[in-house]
Amino acid sequence: MKPLANDTFLRALRREPTDHTPVWLMRQAGRYLPEYNATRKRAGSFLNLCKSPEMACEVTLQPLERYPLDAAILFSDILTVPDAMGLGLYFAEGEGPKFERTVRDEAAVARLAVPDPGAELRYVTDAVRTIRRALDGRVPLIGFSGSPWTLACYMVEGGGSSDFRQIKTLLYKRPDLLERILAVNAQAVAAYLNAQIEAGAQAVMIFDSWGGALADGAFQRFSLAWTRKVVEQLVRERDEPVLGADGRAAGSRKVPVPAIVFTKGGGLWLEQIADIGCDAVGVDWTVNLGQARARVGTRCAIQGNLDPMALMAEPEQVRAEARAVLDAFGTPGAGTGHVFNLGHGISQFTPPDNVSVLVDEVHRYSREQRRG
């Protein structure tokens, strides 16, 4: 395995100096790319695509062929974990993810078990290994999982939800039962992320997409406390081969594996999120990055936060919006780090050329900022 040709993303997460601000995009492999749609069609379904390491590898690399992104993200889904728990994930056309079985009562909770990442989720670790080989050291590979709370939302609701009525009913009526689900999820997520790290993931990200749906107080108890338990259990280093002068493996060294926690709608709780021991907090577009930087201080790096819909504008406006995000953060200084990203996943209606413009402007303008 070659050493990394571009480690800017990992350096920013470690809050070390970089010559530009690294950029990648949530859902960078997805339906806005015609080549993704072609592979998905060949796969027959989104789930088949996730479950084939070769095709998952192919779509992971697609955005990197088009754009000089600074990181790759494993192509998979957060719902592979509850699927591996036997809940029967399926995608109804145009309706998003659904589960055949929900977890809402004592009996269903008692049936829950932590899946073995080496068995039920073997296709994911196989994909990680396949992608690392194909990347050949170009950029780092990010592994990911949903947070215990966000996974519980889908498990209890049986799919997406606009009001979270079922899980909040459980939360208020039977908090003990919800906490049993969260405890299983925390074990499952930690084992799953550690398996991805062992297979080659060079950073991991926890998506707490629905943390922001919780009341203050409930967020800390039902989301953050369980994400903290995951972060505490992560094996945050991996063995990387060291090459000798002849280009052959000459031993190995331990390298850190940073962890990013992204809570959509979590802007009010930034300091508390930064305190759970992660290396970076992801923020959505409601947050001012300069203020976020002041609040987080030197505890963590920050990832974000362009409104994905800014990519629907004309190229000049896309460039201006990218500069506004970089200006809001300011030039990274001692003990701080910024990874440019969107504030949530890229829209399937994004013109692909605007992504070129965005990545170019982040690279160009962040270099200019560093020159003063």
Measured from the CB atom, the residue of 28 and 185 that comes closer to ligand CP3 is 28
Minimum distance, C-beta of residue 128 to ligand CP3, in the bound complex (Å): 12
Please give the Cα distance from 371 to 366 (Å, whole number).
9
Minimum distance, C-beta of residue 257 to ligand CP3, in the bound complex (Å): 17
- Stated as kind and residue range, the H or E segment containing 50 is helix 46-51
Which tokens in the block code for residue 51?
């479950």
Please give the Cα distance from 70 to 140 (Å, whole number).
8
Interface pick for ligand CP3 out of 6, 14, 35, 46 (rule CB under 6 A) = 46
Q: Are 322 and 368 in contact (CB under 8 A)?
A: no
- Stated as kind and residue range, the H or E segment containing 304 is strand 301-306
Task: Find out whether 29 is annotated in a ligand binding site.
Answer: yes
Task: Find out whether 138 is annotated in a ligand binding site.
Answer: no
CA-based nearest residue to 56, from 3, 120, 134: 134
Residues ≥6 apart with Cβ < 8 Å to 261: 147, 205, 206, 208, 227, 231, 273, 276, 278, 280, 281, 282
Please give the Cα distance from 212 to 218 (Å, whole number).
10
- Stated as kind and residue range, the H or E segment containing 253 is strand 249-256
Residues ≥6 apart with Cβ < 8 Å to 338: 12, 21, 289, 293, 301, 302, 303, 326, 329, 332
Minimum distance, C-beta of residue 253 to ligand CP3, in the bound complex (Å): 29
Sort strands 141-146 and 203-208 into parallel, antiparallel or unpaired. Answer: parallel
- Can you state the angle between helices 122-135 and 175-199, rounded to 10 degrees? 40
Query: Residues touching ligand CP3: how many (CB under 6 A)?
Result: 21
Interface pick for ligand CP3 out of 9, 32, 75, 269 (rule CB under 6 A) = 75
Name which of residues 140 to 169 contact ligand CP3 (CB under 6 A): 144, 160
Catalytic residue among 11, 15, 27, 236: 27
**DSSP-derived 3-state class of residue 77:** coil
Catalytic residue among 70, 77, 83, 284: 77
Q: Is 40 in the site for ligand CP3 (CB under 6 A)?
A: yes
Q: Is 44 in the site for ligand CP3 (CB under 6 A)?
A: no
Catalytic residue among 32, 36, 67, 154: 154
Question: For the window 235-254, what string marks contact with ligand CP3 as x by the rule CB under 6 A?
Answer: --------------------
Name which of residues 88 to 127 contact ligand CP3 (CB under 6 A): 96-97
Measured from the CB atom, the residue of 29 and 177 that comes closer to ligand CP3 is 29
Candidate segments 2-10, 21-29, 192-200, 335-343, binder of ligand CP3 by CB under 6 A: 21-29
Interface pick for ligand CP3 out of 23, 26, 190, 342 (rule CB under 6 A) = 26
Q: Is 137 in the site for ligand CP3 (CB under 6 A)?
A: no
Name which of residues 261 to 280 contact ligand CP3 (CB under 6 A): 264
Enumerate binding residues for ligand CP3 (CB under 6 A): 26-31, 40, 46, 73, 75, 77-79, 96-97, 144, 160, 207, 209, 264, 345
